[in-house]
Amino acid sequence: MQTWFITGTSSGFGRLLTEKLLLRGDRVAATLRKSAALDDLKAQYGNRLWVATLDVTDASAVRQVIDRAFTELGRLDVIVNNAAYALFGAAEEASDEQIRQQLDTNLLGSIHVIRAVLPHLRAQGGGRILQISSEGGQITYPNFSYYHTTKWGIEGFVEAVAQEVAPFQIEFTIVEPGPAKTNFGAGLVSPPPMAVYDNTPAGEVRRGLADGTFVVSGDPDKMVEAMLASVERSPAPRRLTLGRAAYAQIRAALLERLAALDAQQDIAFSTEIDA
């Protein structure tokens, strides 16, 4: 039996992970904004489900909840950094407050959790951290600029920290799901649209989500099973791409960036100090 710590467990991937882990006999420390959302699972699984209310934008609260989880449960084997949402709108449509909340939740919230768990994982001799990112950590869509900022940012943070803590047997996997049939869309925060963007790529994406032509083909259940299976792999895969569309789009983006880099090799080499 393993003990997992998961943020953002009221719905989506967080809820599915919690359900599957409890069903197979593991123990889960689940955090969410409103603890009542897990009352049904608490009644069914009792002490194998540890629940705490947590707003990941509050760094002090994150440290307190994580300290309490390690103290009361003794050990946390896998940390799942999942709490996130998307701010949906063209860059100039969002308010300052909306931008700050997006960064505080998705980027700084994930950083707070990682920083808080590292001392405990070092002390216990290691552990695994799953950072739930998105295909949007390597590709972009119009209207999701601030969401992409958080996902590209957290992937860079994890890449660096993974090198720092590798000697302590702490491993990271960045999970990059494509569009999946969760309630992610219901959680979108959308500022008032500006008509000037109606006939632009931003407007096209907006209409695609509204009329259902934006294809969502990922199976959340299968994606969660892949996340669980990744924890059994050693060494930990640094990235886990989930979904046919995510694979195709990330691969195309990487090839395009590599081609652009290769095309500028002579410029890059020309800026060295003369020997």
Q: In this structure, what DSSP letter does residue 89 have?
A: S
Which of 45, 146, 151, 197 is the catalytic position? 151
Q: Are 153 and 107 in contact (CB under 8 A)?
A: yes
**Domains of the chain: which residue ranges?**
3-244
- Compute CA distances 249 → 33, 109, 213, 252, 253, whole Å: 33, 27, 17, 5, 6
| pTM of the full structure | 0.94
Which of 85, 141, 147, 197 is the catalytic position? 147
Asked if 147 is an active-site residue, the reply is yes
CATH number for 3-244 (one of 3.40.190.10, 3.40.50.720, 3.40.50.2020, 3.40.640.10): it is 3.40.50.720
pLDDT per residue over 65-122, tens digit each? 999 999 999 999 999 999 999 999 999 999 999 999 999 999 999 999 999 999 999 9
Asked if 110 is an active-site residue, the reply is no
Q: How far apart are CA 65 and CA 59, in angstroms?
A: 10
pLDDT per residue over 231-264, tens digit each? 999 999 999 999 999 999 999 999 999 999 999 9
